[in-house]
Amino acid sequence: MTYIMNWLSKAAIPGLIAIILIFGVVKKTPVFDTFIEGAKEGLYTTIKILPVIVGIMLGINVLNASGALDMIVSLLKPIASLFGIPEQVLPMAILRPISGSASLGLLSRQLKEYGPDTQIGRILSVMMGSTETIFYTITVYYGAVGVKKTRYTLWVSLIAGLAGFISAILVCRIL
């Protein structure tokens, strides 16, 4: 079974590319021209959202370097302890909605410190997999299409992120 799974994982991307090429030929679509056009659009989108991404990265670095993240965590500790939330997961709860790379770096550092098979390690891992980088995603997707007013997207996304955070804690406690 392991051999089959290894083979399937190695063949997945080339197989998908082959399926796309075959489908394009059957539909008589100029596959290469379509690919080049998509690459041009992707490059344009990247250039268009680059200033926002740089701003987010700068803000995260300032948050970490200034000690503001530690201040926010210390302010949230009493509330977290009231609900039985381990204080070690609070930095992830704060960073995860802002940046995937910062939260991944934090996850790596915390897993080295606490271990992946501890309660904290499990909560952090489940939280990382069940929540989204809300601000980054909204910025990239809405910025790419030129949407200025996000209406309820931010609030609904923050509520969903909070639900993922709470669910990660509850599921890890139950299991």
CA 122 to CA 110: how far, in whole Å?
Answer: 11
Residue 42 exposed, middle or buried by CB count within 10 Å (0-12, 13-18, 19+): exposed
Residue 136: its pLDDT value, please?
Answer: 81
Residue 36: its pLDDT value, please?
Answer: 93
CA 124 to CA 92: how far, in whole Å?
Answer: 7
Residue 26: its pLDDT value, please?
Answer: 93
- Coil/strand/helix, residue 91: helix
Residue 70: its pLDDT value, please?
Answer: 87
Residue 22: its pLDDT value, please?
Answer: 93
Residue 128: its pLDDT value, please?
Answer: 92
Six token digits for residue 90: 């609070």
Residue 55: its pLDDT value, please?
Answer: 79
User: Could you report the average pLDDT of every consecutive run of 10 residues in the chain (175 residues)?
Assistant: 87 93 92 91 85 78 84 92 90 88 86 92 93 85 81 91 92 90
Q: What is the pTM of this model?
A: 0.67
